[in-house]
DNA sequence: CTGAAAGCGCTTACAG
DNA sequence: CTGAAAGCGCTTACAG
């Protein structure tokens, strides 16, 4: 390579990387040589010599769920455009995460980390921070780190208030984390909190029997709904923590012969691509944009942090959400009249 | 590190990698030291010195579609268990692919490549092979390379034969590649071929007007169905190349006020997680298993190919598929009587 | 079984 | 503007 261009390897390096001064003509010569040889500098040699890896780790708990694949999609888009490679770590179980953060294969391997709604223990978080490289959290906040997310509490309140305004009083909550899970998603806790806040703000008491957790995804939502259906008191409306659970609930209801929204209203969160097909009322968020923003933020930090002192306040981007009214919510069939509070 | 264990860096390397002979006691000492320092060898130094990267590139055209996220999920599972890192390249557009294969950032960067149903030109394929590292193709065959896939032609025939046996004659095809695309998925072509074969085998002539291509995913399926609905002659049944298209078709039909399967039957391919919710008849495939198998195959090749001569015949794994009867297919409402062929 | 030494393929001060 | 040289942090024959 250096031979073909008739220069030293140092000049090859400077020409191709754009760092340092090289005569325009020399640079051209080197680039031509690179092209004819289809030469690409060895990433490993570059990484070792320069300390920069041009690689970002993306850590996700799920890959097959709408939110996560959408975020990753947004992330790869901007990272690839910026010439960064993406190292994907799919840590589905608590065991996976423990093993991963104990070994910490990220050390000296990547320039930055994008953590997507990972349910992390303190140990995990410490191991991450010990890396001492920029980290951006997506979908949940991590103390002291820049993050991109939505207002989870407000999202849940919006959904539940919608049901309340329709006249519902017995409103159940369907959560996505199994009862026996040894951890939870931050967003799950916040959405549950928003649900309870909305209820108490109108003097409806949240009751444990109306908060069910059936597990992840469609099957989890279906299981949770089935449990609600077998309970003593049927709710007139259900708020599911995210659309896949809501869709599972719809499935369960259909199999039980109950009509939506006639018998029970259902509302979710996400605006999953299937929501419109199932005519599901939901609070929409733009997951792909979250990925785009987070990656952009990380890239900025990477370009800024070159030896400068760490910035003061970590950026916290909060994206808007929007209640999308569709066909799975309606006023309850029969008003519960013994609840008092008549119109003046 | 070497200092703490009181040995040379060579011994550290041998102890941690398991290569070469080390006294059991020495190895223990080194491992303890590594643990207390939470030392991990620099992947870049290892890569440069040894030539092995412990990294696999996974190249995908989509991330948010069920098939691809499921395959990637299966892939990461076995690769992570084997201690390999996954470099994810998301090449959604033809432009992305051209840029990628022209630069070929994979050179000297990974030990192997997993290519998922990538629509590759000859140039791309050549660039890939020039890498001279093991490649496994998933979801489509590539000449001379080991692959994991299903029998695409047979899958389409199964779906269409099901419709034919129900008595349908006017059976349309909904494809997922836009009309103006500059390339196609191999599986799309094969499924279209299977569709035509099934029709001609019972003397139904495939007609261009009944083959529509609306673009990817739900919206593509909806657009294609809308086009069929505005056509001169309504089909009595539709075969969609994959479930997301079929789901889009269902959506379109519902908005048009047509009942499924009463007015029109719909069948897809995949057994997407939403298929059961929408009660969609489909030909199911196990995408996650394809990912698992492909990754396993690649790992085997990696472990075998250590200097040995290239193996004779590349492995070709073909996974079974299964017609799953649900509620979106039924006999046509009124038999077309002028088609002849009465029972004896 | 272990260490000294060369080398992997770059980058980066340092001279000039 | 360019090159010689050191060095990045490992691995791997080669001795012993």
Stretch B281-295: mean pLDDT: 98
Cα–Cα nearest to B170, from B209, B213, B218: B209
Identify the residue whose tokens are 């050549």: B126
- Dihedral, B61, B63, B68, B70 alpha carbons, nearest 10: 160
How many C-beta neighbours within 10 Å does residue B339 have? 11
pLDDT tens profile B263-272 = 999 999 999 9
| Contact between B251 and A277 using a beta-carbon 8 Å cutoff | yes
Cα–Cα nearest to A247, from A212, A218, A227, A210: A218
Residue B52: band (very low, low, confident or very high) from pLDDT cuts 50, 70, 90: very high
Answer yes or no: is B36 CB < 7 A from strand D: no
Question: Helix crossing, B243-255 with B217-229: angle to 10°?
Answer: 50
Rg (CA), chain A: 25
CB neighbour list of residue A194: distance below 8 Å, 6 or more residues apart: A152, A153, A154, A155, A156, A157, A160
Identify the residue whose tokens are 């006691």: B25
Would you state the structure tokens that stand for residue A199, as one six-digit string? 């209820």
Residues of B in contact with A76 (CB under 8 A): 63, 88-90
Residues of A in contact with B53 (CB under 8 A): 44
Predicted TM-score of the model (pTM): 0.93
Answer yes or no: is B23 CB < 7 A from strand D: no
**Shortest Cα–Cα distance, B276 to chain A (Å):** 8
Please name the nucleotide lying closest to A17, CA to C1': C11
pLDDT tens profile B135-186 = 999 999 988 899 999 999 999 999 999 999 999 999 999 998 876 666 678 8
How many C-beta neighbours within 10 Å does residue A219 have? 17
Residues of A in contact with B58 (CB under 8 A): 88
pLDDT in the model for residue A306: 53
Cα–Cα nearest to A248, from A216, A200, A212, A203: A216
Query: What distance in Å separates the CA atoms of residue A172 and residue B156, rounded to the nearest whole number?
Result: 43
pLDDT in the model for residue B338: 47
pLDDT in the model for residue B20: 79
Residues of A in contact with B274 (CB under 8 A): 218, 247, 274
Note which residues in 174-213 of chain B have CB less than 8 A from chain A.
none
pLDDT in the model for residue B193: 96
pLDDT in the model for residue B241: 97
Would you say residue B246 has pLDDT above 90?
A: yes
Q: How far is CA B263 from the centre of its chain?
A: 32
| Contact between B44 and A108 using a beta-carbon 8 Å cutoff | yes
- Helix, strand, coil percentages in chain B from 3-state DSSP, rounded to 5: 45, 15, 40
pLDDT in the model for residue A305: 64
Question: Which residues of the protein are close to the nucleic strand C, CB under 7 angstroms?
Answer: A 1, 9-10, 12-14, 16-17, 19-20, 39, 41-42, 45-46, 48-52; B 6-11, 14, 20-23, 25-27, 45, 48-49
Note which residues in 14-33 of chain B have CB less than 8 A from chain A.
none
pLDDT in the model for residue A162: 98
Would you say residue B130 has pLDDT above 60?
A: yes
Instruction: Please give the helix or strand (H or E) that residue B56 lies within, else none.
Output: strand B55-60
The values of phi and psi at residue B114, to 5°, are -115, 115
pLDDT in the model for residue A143: 84
Q: How many CA atoms within 13 Å lie on the side-chain side of B294?
A: 37
pLDDT tens profile A10-66 = 999 999 988 878 999 899 999 999 989 889 999 999 999 999 999 999 999 999 999
pLDDT in the model for residue A341: 42
Would you say residue B294 has pLDDT above 90?
A: yes
- Among candidates B64, B70, B85 on the partner chain, residue whose Cβ is nearest the Cβ of A87: B85
pLDDT in the model for residue A340: 43
Answer yes or no: is B47 CB < 7 A from strand D: no
pLDDT in the model for residue B339: 47
Which residues in chain A land under pLDDT 50? 307-309, 336-344
pLDDT in the model for residue A339: 46
pLDDT in the model for residue A205: 86
> Are the C-beta atoms of A163 and A237 separated by less than 8 Å?
yes
Answer yes or no: is A22 CB < 7 A from strand D: yes
pLDDT tens profile A93-115 = 889 999 999 888 898 999 999 99
Would you say residue B74 has pLDDT above 60?
A: yes
Q: Is B317 on the interface with A (CB under 8 A)?
A: no
β strands within chain A, DSSP E? 55-60, 85-90, 112-116, 135-138, 147-150, 171-175, 211-213, 237-240, 265-270, 281-284, 316-319, 322-324
pLDDT in the model for residue A206: 85
What's the first-to-final CA gap in chain B, in angstroms?
87
Answer yes or no: is B17 CB < 7 A from strand D: yes
CB neighbour list of residue A126: distance below 8 Å, 6 or more residues apart: none
Which is higher by pLDDT, B309 or B47?
B47
Query: What distance in Å separates the CA atoms of residue B57 and residue B52, rounded to the nearest whole number?
Result: 13
Q: Are strands B112-116 and B55-60 parallel, antiparallel or unpaired?
A: parallel
pLDDT in the model for residue A307: 46
Cα–Cα nearest to A17, from A49, A51, A41: A41
CB neighbour list of residue A71: distance below 8 Å, 6 or more residues apart: A60, A116, A138, A139, A287, A288, A290, A291, A294
pLDDT in the model for residue B64: 95
Question: What number of C-beta contacts closer than 8 Å exist between A and B?
Answer: 137
pLDDT in the model for residue B103: 86
């Amino acid at each position: 390579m250096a031979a073909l261009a008739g220069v030293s390897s140092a000049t090859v390096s400077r020409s191709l990387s754009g760092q340092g001064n090289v005569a325009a003509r020399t640079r051209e010569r080197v680039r031509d040589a690179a092209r004819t040889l289809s030469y690409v500098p060895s990433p490993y040699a570059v990484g070792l010599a320069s300390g920069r890896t041009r690689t970002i780790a993306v850590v996700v708990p799920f890959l097959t769920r709408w939110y996560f694949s959408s975020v990753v999609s947004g992330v790869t888009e901007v990272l690839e455009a910026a010439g960064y490679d993406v190292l994907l770590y799919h840590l589905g179980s608590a065991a996976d995460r423990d093993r991963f953060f104990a070994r910490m294969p990220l050390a000296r391997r990547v320039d930055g980390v994008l953590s997507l709604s990972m349910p992390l223990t303190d140990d995990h978080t410490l191991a991450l921070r010990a890396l001492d490289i920029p980290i951006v959290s997506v979908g949940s906040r991590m103390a002291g780190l820049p993050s991109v997310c939505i207002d989870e509490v407000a999202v849940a309140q919006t959904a539940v208030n919608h049901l309340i305004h329709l006249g519902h009083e017995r409103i159940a909550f369907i959560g996505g984390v199994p009862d026996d899970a040894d951890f939870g998603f931050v967003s799950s806790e916040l959405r549950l909190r928003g649900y309870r806040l909305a209820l108490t703000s109108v003097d409806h008491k949240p009751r444990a029997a109306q908060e069910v957790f059936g597990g992840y995804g469609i099957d989890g939502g279906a299981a949770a709904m089935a449990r609600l259906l077998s309970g003593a008191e049927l709710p007139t409306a259900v708020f599911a923590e995210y659309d896949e659970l809501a869709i599972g609930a719809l499935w369960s209801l259909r199999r039980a012969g109950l009509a939506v929204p006639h018998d029970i209203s259902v509302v979710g969160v996400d605006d999953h691509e299937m929501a419109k097909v199932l005519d599901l009322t939901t609070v929409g968020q733009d997951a792909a944009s979250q990925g785009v923003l987070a990656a952009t933020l990380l890239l900025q930090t990477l370009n800024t942090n070159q030896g400068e002192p760490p910035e003061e306040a970590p950026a916290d981007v909060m994206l808007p959400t929007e209640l999308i009214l569709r066909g799975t919510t309606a006023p309850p069939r029969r008003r519960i009249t013994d609840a008092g509070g008549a119109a003046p």
